[in-house]
Structure 1
């Protein structure tokens, strides 16, 4: 019997994209994974469509050694709360260095690009001129697809890709 996978899901404090959090979370939990939710604080986080989640831990308190994967949820709040979050960028770099699964959906692949881990990697992002430009400037090989896995890194494009993204994160463990 193998230990259940431990997945850290990061959401913006406000305006995270509901489907990009709740759908992968359901996929993870149905597989037996243990999900821990992190945000800027442990105050209730609110989604664009009204969904709410109470984070288990604040980003500064995360020890990435406690997890097998990190998944960063998208939505407009990601730009405000996550893109330039120094602690989160450090966590992403450490997770990648340790070979953990590092995943982001919608506009959050920009977090991975800002952490410097998309250099030479195939990835996708919610398609805006700004998002695509940032990925390319940071050395990513952008492709306009629903979900892309490149080694231990998984990126998803949009809410329609949320379930497939969740499955791809699980597949990246193998």
Structure 2
């Protein structure tokens, strides 16, 4: 099993990446990291993570799940990234597990995956508006799993988010 984890090149939330990545490893699930460009990405708290590939080079058929990490960089770099939107649409059409945490569920909304689905997000006027525009039914809880779509609202939900992804992949 293999997951594609997407992070922003700057200001991603380290714990939203590191906690799930560690839990995936412990569950025997491989992951690869993608960003706007391959190379070093810088977290909001000074962490550095290498992106193995650029989002545009990722092939949905090579992965069992897509996990999009949040942080302020998600709104700066990922919300409007056309390559990520297209990739997210492909994961959605394939029925594969597609997950996003913190500010990243907006990517799922923009790709049309949240229409008629329950979802959560880091709450702000902008995120709530964008989820509503994407047709989501906003739920104010830490983690929401609506069939194959998993969303989480905050870095503190990182472990539950990862557990839910692992559960969906292994059942």
**What aligned pairs does 1:19-168 form with structure 2 within 5 A after superposition?**
19-168=15-164
Q: How big is each residue's C-alpha offset from its partner over 1:63-111, in whole Å with a ceiling of 9 and x where there is no partner?
A: 0100000000000001111001111001011011111100000000000
TM-score calculated relative to the size of structure 2:
0.98
- What's the TM-score, normalizing by structure 1? 0.96
The alignment's C-alpha RMSD in Å is 0.7
Per-residue deviation at 1:171? 1.3
Q: Distance in 2 between matches of 1:29 and 1:121?
A: 29
Give 1:130 deviation, angstroms.
1.1
Paired residues, what number?
Answer: 170
2:9 is the alignment partner of 1:13: yes
Structure with the bigger percentage of helix: 2
CA contact (8 A) 1:149 1:172 kept: no
Aligned-partner Cα distance in 2 for 1:53–1:137: 32
1:147: how far off? 0.3
Q: Which runs of 5+ in 2 are unaligned?
A: none
CA distance in 2, matches of 1:110, 1:172: 21
